Structure 1
């Protein structure tokens, strides 16, 4: 019972942050979706230690564990929009390709910067006993 209550409280807390992101996007007329602003807001609050990870750990772990289920509705919707891919397929593919490459570059750059600061542990498989 206590775990269920904690789950519900954490879920409400995450939903409030998400709705706050939508509110800020609407209020400030930002071209960024509200849910993305909510995630950035949550990230900032976690980084500044205003919110502790343990306060949202139970619910966020559950949501991440079941993340694949959240893609089912959009996948079904995309099946009914074949015309969209016929009309905008090339620009979509180009956008996705550029985004993929950009994501790889930013990820690699971030790992290199963090490894120089000593925040990423290096693993050397030659020193492990098998």
Structure 2
């Protein structure tokens, strides 16, 4: 009986986690040359909703010779309702970057990384 209850509890947690998963897509760079794709899950963070998960960045520019370059990244962000805004931390190649964007049909803003110029970033969360 205890094993059944444990299995039911584990299934309920897995179902809740799966239902809170969101797809993230976007692009960054002066010409939108980096495509972003990933799945994020909701984490408990008090009043604001916080999401986190892995993201793949794919360079889609025409300068690639041996196929597109890809980078693995991690994103953590909060969404606020008023004003509709995203505040995110992105870690790419061990470098922590910050993003703040306003919602129109997507979240748009600039991503800033240490010792680098800011780059435009647009993110859709669905």
* TM-score tier (shorter): under 0.3
TM-score by length of structure 1 reads 0.27
Q: Which has the higher strand share?
A: 2
Q: Which has the higher helix share?
A: 1
Higher relative contact order (CA 8 A, sep 6+): 2
Larger radius of gyration: 1
